[in-house]
């Protein structure tokens, strides 16, 4: 199953026709992807499932329908088990950025995390997952595919937000503060976190982050 986010609303691509009564099920071969994106942007569609029995067809479909921008980023932990967040566009996010020519996904992930946060001594521990979201640039829809890695650093020096990228803050956050930050984050970022980070007390949702 894939979740492709359009303004935090997921388009589901799955091998099952029925994934819930609220979902509009559309065979992959009949899907008009750009039209679906426009409907979601207008608030006319909230639940849609594009299905095909062959899972290999799902991502191939995505890559054919929109120009693809590949990016890489990291969920960085320190010895205190804190996670490194950035604050941009009034949202808490994780550092990431576009993969450059001749870079591996891992090289791009480390470079982008370092550039956006000023952190050093980064080590990749494992690949986490890929996330997908649709954005618009120069009047055209594009698909961003981001490769995420779990990282570690012992760095205790100053953190420097990359201001030219619109980053206002860089912060280490413990478990509790990470939970609060995720109430002001993006749905595709939440996919990277274990469930316990997303089960907050209702009062936390109005708490200051």
Residue limits of CATH 3.90.79.10 in the chain: 68-206
pLDDT of residue 198: 85
pLDDT of residue 209: 39
Instruction: Record the pTM.
Output: 0.90
| pLDDT tens per residue, range 22-46 | 999 999 999 999 999 999 999 999 9
DSSP bridge pairs for 49: 12, 25
79 in Cβ contact with 44 (< 8 Å): no
Indicate the average pLDDT of the chain. Answer: 93
Q: Is the pLDDT of residue 205 over 80?
A: no
pLDDT of residue 88: 97
74 in Cβ contact with 95 (< 8 Å): yes
Long-range contacts of 173-178 (CB under 8 A, 24+ apart): 173/82, 173/83, 173/84, 173/85, 174/80, 174/81, 174/82, 175/81, 177/209, 178/82, 178/83, 178/85
pLDDT of residue 98: 97
Structure token pair of residue 3:
């979740």
Q: In whole angstroms, how far apart are CA 74 and each of 31, 128, 157?
A: 33, 9, 18
Structure token pair of residue 162:
């990359």
Q: Where are the alpha helices (DSSP H) in the chain?
A: 33-41, 56-65, 105-117, 175-182, 187-190
pLDDT of residue 31: 96
How large is the average pLDDT for residues 77-102?
97
Q: What is the rounded distance in angstroms from the CA atom of residue 7 to the CA atom of residue 23? A: 17
| pLDDT tens per residue, range 131-154 | 999 999 998 999 999 999 999 999
To which residue do tokens 């650093």 refer? 153
pLDDT of residue 76: 98
Residue 21 — φ and ψ, nearest 5°? -60, -30
Q: Among positive and negative, which fits the CA dihedral 11, 12, 18, 19?
A: negative
Domain 68-206 falls under CATH 3.90.79.10? yes
How large is the average pLDDT for residues 71-93?
97
DSSP 87-134: EETTEEE--EEEPPTT--HHHHHHHHHHHHH---S-EEEEEEEEEEEE
% the chain with pLDDT above 90 = 90
Structure token pair of residue 60:
């191939």
Helix (H) or strand (E) holding 73: strand 68-77
| pLDDT tens per residue, range 11-27 | 999 999 999 999 999 99
88 in Cβ contact with 97 (< 8 Å): no
Q: Is the pLDDT of residue 202 over 70?
A: no
189 Cβ contact partners less than 8 Å away, ≥ 6 residues apart: 93, 94, 131, 182
């Amino acid at each position: 199953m894939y979740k492709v986010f359009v303004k935090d609303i997921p388009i589901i691509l799955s091998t099952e026709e029925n994934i819930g009564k609220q979902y509009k099920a559309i065979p992959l071969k009949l899907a008009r992807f750009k039209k679906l994106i426009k409907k979601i942007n207008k608030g006319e569609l909230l639940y849609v499932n594009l299905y095909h029995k062959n899972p290999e067809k799902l991502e191939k479909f995505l890559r054919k329908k929109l120009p693809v921008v590949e990016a890489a980023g990291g969920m960085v932990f320190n010895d205190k088990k804190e996670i490194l967040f950035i604050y941009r566009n009034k949202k808490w996010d994780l550092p990431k950025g576009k993969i450059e020519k001749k870079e591996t996904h891992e090289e791009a992930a480390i470079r982008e995390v370092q550039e956006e946060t000023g952190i050093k001594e980064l080590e990749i521990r494992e690949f986490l997952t890929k996330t997908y979201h649709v954005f618009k640039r120069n009047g055209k829809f594009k698909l961003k595919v981001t490769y995420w890695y779990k990282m570690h650093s012992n760095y205790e020096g100053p953190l420097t937000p990359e201001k030219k990228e619109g980053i206002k803050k860089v912060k280490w956050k413990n478990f509790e503060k990470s939970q609060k930050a995720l109430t002001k984050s993006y749905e595709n970022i939440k996919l990277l976190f274990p469930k316990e980070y997303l089960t907050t007390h209702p009062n936390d949702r109005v708490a200051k982050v």
